[in-house]
Amino acid sequence: MNILTFNQEEDFVQAGTNLIVSLLQSNPRAVLGLATGSSPLGIYARLAKMYAKGLVSFAEASSYNLDEYVGLSEDHPQSYHNFMNHNLFQHIDLDPSRIHIPNGNAEDLEAECQSYDNLLEENGPIDLQLLGIGHNGHIGFNEPSDHLNGSTHVVDLLDETLAANARFFTSMDDVPKQAVTMSVGSILKARQIVLLARGAEKAEAIKAAVHGPITTQCPASLLQCHPNVILLLDQAAGRLL
Ligand code: GLP
């Protein structure tokens, strides 16, 4: 793992943005794996600004998002569809027909998972996969568990994840209990993985991901098996390394 720790938010954002922009410059048809959460927000804002200035184009690229809540309408303020539109897609020239996000409202979720995997198989591999990390070491919504799921699947979110997500909803009852997530297997197929983490509350998860045993109890630790992972951290998230 290549670990880069930054003192300044500005440098963290610039490093992540540079990785995506240089990929698109060398391969305009790049397949991007995108993440939600607060960690990539600065990068998305910077990409939008660069697009506005004509410094980058997504016109031939395609994107696959990691996950989506089950049962939230796409236009719900907290859906990941809405998050991505609001924070990135509406500001850039990525062709909507090449944007992919799991449909958490599909009538047949099993079929939806299968068709997401088929798309990834046909159009992949993902060239650059952005990841955040949960407090419990989850990536996408692959929660700590005794077993590893090899394909896109519906996951029951753990209590700690529900608690972390509660801040975005008016009450605990409104927090979605399930999500559709790409598997760790699909994530590991990406050519390059860029894991982002900011803040002291991520320090334990980062330590476990980097130095801990490789275990499904910390899904991010499975990234140790991948040959091309870059961690972009702020000082607080990297303080236990
Ligand atoms: C959610 C997402 C994850 C993301 C995590 C971290 O759980 N499903 O993909 O990595 O949030 O979010 P943040 O970047 O806000 O800490």
CATH no. for residue 230?
A: 3.40.50.1360
Burial class (CB in 10 A: 0-12, 13-18, 19+), 100: middle
Which amino acid appears at position 213 of this protein? P
pLDDT of residue 200: 97
Of these residues, 67, 68, 112, 127, which one is catalytic?
67
> Whose CA is closest to 228, among 129, 152, 138?
129
**In the annotation, is 138 catalytic?**
yes
pLDDT of residue 73: 94
133 CB near ligand 1 (under 6 Å):
yes
pLDDT of residue 106: 97
Asked whether residue 108 is assigned to any structural domain, the reply reads yes
Asked whether residue 10 is assigned to any structural domain, the reply reads yes
Asked whether residue 38 is assigned to any structural domain, the reply reads yes
**Rounded-to-integer distance, Cα 12 and Cα 42, Å:** 9
pLDDT digits (tens, 9 = 90+) for 189-225: 999 999 999 999 999 999 999 999 999 999 999 999 9
> Whose CA is closest to 1, among 186, 233, 183?
233
142 lies in which domain range? 2-234
Asked whether residue 139 is assigned to any structural domain, the reply reads yes
Number of domains in the chain: 1
**In the annotation, is 160 catalytic?**
no
Asked whether residue 142 is assigned to any structural domain, the reply reads yes
Residues 6+ apart with CB under 8 A from 3: 210, 230, 231, 233, 238, 241
**Rounded-to-integer distance, Cα 210 and Cα 147, Å:** 20
> What is the secondary structure of 131-178 as a DSSP string?
E---TTS-BTTB---SS---S-EEEEPPHHHHHHHGGGSSSGGGS-SE
Pocket residue to mutate for ligand 1, from 138, 223, 231, most atoms within 8 A of Cβ:
138
**Rounded-to-integer distance, Cα 150 and Cα 187, Å:** 10
134 CB near ligand 1 (under 6 Å):
yes
Q: Going by CA atoms, what residue is nearest to atom 7 of ligand 1?
A: 134
Asked whether residue 239 is assigned to any structural domain, the reply reads no
**In the annotation, is 95 catalytic?**
no
Asked whether residue 240 is assigned to any structural domain, the reply reads no
pLDDT of residue 163: 92
User: Mean pLDDT by 10-residue block, N- to C-terminus, for the chain (241 residues)?
Assistant: 97 98 98 97 98 98 98 95 98 98 97 97 96 97 94 95 92 95 97 98 98 97 98 98 95
Element spanning 185, H or E: helix 184-188
**Rounded-to-integer distance, Cα 71 and Cα 107, Å:** 10
